[in-house]
Amino acid sequence: MTRSNKPVLHLPRTLLLAVATILLGFLAFVFVAYAINLMQFPFDYDQGEGFELIDTIMFSRGEFPFRDSDVYPFYASNYPPLYHVIAAPFVPLAGSAYWYGRLLGFLATLIAAAAISYAVYRAGRNRWIALLAGLAFLASNTIYHVGPLFRQHMMMVMFETLAVILLAGVNEVANRTRRRWILLLGVLLLLAAGYTKQLAAFTVVAVFAWLFIRQPRRAVVWGIGFGVAAAGIFVWLNFATNGEWWRNVIAANINRYNLDQTIGLYRLWFSLHGLLIVPAALLVIYELYFDRISIYSAWFVVAIGVGAASGQWGAGDSYFATAIAAMCILSGIFAARTLRGEWAFSANYVSRALIFPLRRLAPVLLGAGAVGIPLIYLLYGAAVFHMPTQGALFGDLARVLNLRPNTDYAFYDSAGRIAGGYADIGHFTTQADIDAGWRIVDQVRSADGEVMSEDAGFSLMAGRQPVGNPTQLLNLWMNGLLDSSALIDMINAREFGLIIFRGQLYPVDVLQAIAANYERYETIQMNGFEYLLLRPRRP
């Protein structure tokens, strides 16, 4: 770029950066508002949150949730413990509540976004692009949806992101003691990610593969240490739970696979994030041919592969969250380098064929990049745009923008619902939803006999023993690991005074027994779902 072009391009670039920041900043505001709304909602929002709460309560009592599901209360968890252990200290202070688990997910998402901004600034030295990279992470539909939930996924992504960023420059640290401390902390963060959720194993593979490429001996030594620590915890958990850790967390998670769901979710991921995926991929290619492969590139490539697991029963768009974090870092570094004109191409067959013939166009290309980079972030914000369409602020804005809900709720989501496994969440809850939830709790309190519900929160709020974890029972059943005879005997004996369906997620033989012995007597709508209340059939 020539000097004469800089003043001409500076104003439009600044204006576009400002508009992109306002748009992505607004989406961050929506994210915060959504999180605050969910923290005030006292029931399950995403199916399964109540069972995460049960895990947390059990850990607060010094108990393991990895149990024998064949016997009463037919409950077990299929997730590693760390997220619930971190949340457990809240239980003595706040009791059976959802807000603190959602707060932890919200904070983990913000920390991951801040870490992404730091990584981009450290590599690109551009504060504005660093800010946009972090905001782009929060703006993603996937991150927005799952971030404030009482689920462990975003805490896993936080640990992964922190580990990768910490280790990114470890090989350049000259001081041996400092380098060892960095490696130790990075390995501990990877260990924390893995014992938050199993998917972090892919990030572990990416990190140690990159370390091996750069420093084979160091990678082997620290890899052995990591393996010993991870295996030691694994063996201890399996011994302490009489093998239920293996049965519930490993064996039960080999679920049926739907290729169409996987393809649909890849399409959804690219249609929403393609404007940042492309520059991220270009940086990977640049490093492959003209520089050294960075840990971010290795992480991004492996994380994309994680999406292949999104077709499993129980999986969904959240499986792309790690790839989105890596994408935001790489695209941010690409953007910062472009604005600073810091591209260097060594002479090889690729540069001779594709790059060197374009040298005369370099000023034009750099000028286009100066305007194109902020435009990419602006268009990305438009691609992932989502917001409520009701309320004092959002309703007026929706009318100005002529936005109408494209979901089953008063919510506009650019993702729509075009793929199986895409969670229909993100909308705000209402007072009517809360009132409906308490109506169901009243039914639970007055039930004559045991209560079995696909949302555990109703039993928790009524002070009753939650019975069964439907999705985990189904996981076990599909893998031939469940003997449901004791549960079916209780159903046949009509020992349950009330059964509550939200999605009929129990094993097939359990559903058949319920159908033979129970009948629906009321339907209550809450949070967009129909809750079916069943009682024993009359003679």
Helix axes 362-383, 5-39, angle to 10 degrees: 20
Cα angle, residue 449 at apex, residues 518 and 45 outer, rounded to 5°: 75
- The answer to whether 119 and 300 are in contact (CB under 8 A) is no
Q: Check residue 403 and report its DSSP letter.
A: -
pLDDT at residue 353, rounded to an integer: 67
pLDDT at residue 22, rounded to an integer: 97
* pLDDT tens readout for residues 419-463: 665 667 889 999 999 999 999 999 999 999 999 999 999 999 999
Residue 497, judged by CB atoms within 10 A of its CB (0-12, 13-18, 19+), counts as middle
Of the listed ranges 163-167, 182-186, 368-372, 375-379, the one predicted with least confidence: 368-372
**CA–CA separation, 513 and 532 (whole Å):** 16
Query: In the structure encoding, which two tokens stand for residue 409, read together?
Result: 């709720």
Helical spans, DSSP H, in 125-175: 127-139, 141-146, 153-167
Name the average pLDDT for the chain. 92
**Residue 444: which residues within 8 A CB-CB, separation 6 or more?**
451, 453, 458, 459, 461, 462, 464, 498, 500
**Domain presence at residue 412:** no
Phi, psi of 38 (to 5 degrees): -65, -35
**Domain presence at residue 253:** yes
* pLDDT tens readout for residues 241-291: 999 999 999 999 888 888 888 999 999 999 999 999 999 999 999 999 888
- The answer to whether 133 and 126 are in contact (CB under 8 A) is no
**Closest CA relative to residue 81, chosen from 108, 54, 107, 102:** 54
Determine the structural domain holding residue 222 and report its residue range.
5-41+98-379
* pLDDT tens readout for residues 32-49: 999 999 999 999 998 889
Start-to-end Cα distance in the chain: 86
Residue range 322-343: average pLDDT?
94
**Domain presence at residue 478:** no
Helical spans, DSSP H, in 307-452: 321-340, 349-350, 362-383, 392-401, 431-446
Confidence bin at 4 (pLDDT 50/70/90)? very low
Cα angle, residue 447 at apex, residues 441 and 451 outer, rounded to 5°: 75
Task: Tell me how far the alpha carbon of residue 287 is from its chain's centroid.
Answer: 28
Phi, psi of 140 (to 5 degrees): -55, 135
Phi, psi of 536 (to 5 degrees): -60, 140
- The answer to whether 249 and 238 are in contact (CB under 8 A) is no
pLDDT at residue 409, rounded to an integer: 84
**Domain presence at residue 539:** no
**Closest CA relative to residue 314, chosen from 256, 361, 401, 367:** 256
**CA–CA separation, 289 and 301 (whole Å):** 16
**Domain presence at residue 36:** yes
What is the percentage of the chain residues whose pLDDT exceeds 70?
93
Beta bridge partners of 247: none
* Domain count across the chain: 1
Determine the length of the chain.
Answer: 539
**Domain presence at residue 446:** no
**Domain presence at residue 368:** yes
DSSP conformation letters of 164-182: HHHHTTGGG---HHHHHHH
* pLDDT tens readout for residues 112-171: 999 999 999 999 999 999 999 999 999 999 999 999 999 999 999 999 999 999 999 999
Residue 232, judged by CB atoms within 10 A of its CB (0-12, 13-18, 19+), counts as exposed
Phi, psi of 526 (to 5 degrees): -145, 130
**Mind spelling out the 3-state secondary structure of 68-121?**
CCCCCCCCCCCCCCHHHHHHHHHHHHHCCCCHHHHHHHHHHHHHHHHHHHHHHH
Task: Tell me how far the alpha carbon of residue 38 is from its chain's centroid.
Answer: 16
Cis peptide before 507 (omega within 30 of 0): no
Phi, psi of 316 (to 5 degrees): 180, -155
**Domain presence at residue 259:** yes
pLDDT at residue 310, rounded to an integer: 87
Three-class secondary structure of residue 388 per DSSP: strand
Task: Tell me how far the alpha carbon of residue 228 is from its chain's centroid.
Answer: 28
Beta bridge partners of 453: 500
Confidence bin at 3 (pLDDT 50/70/90)? very low
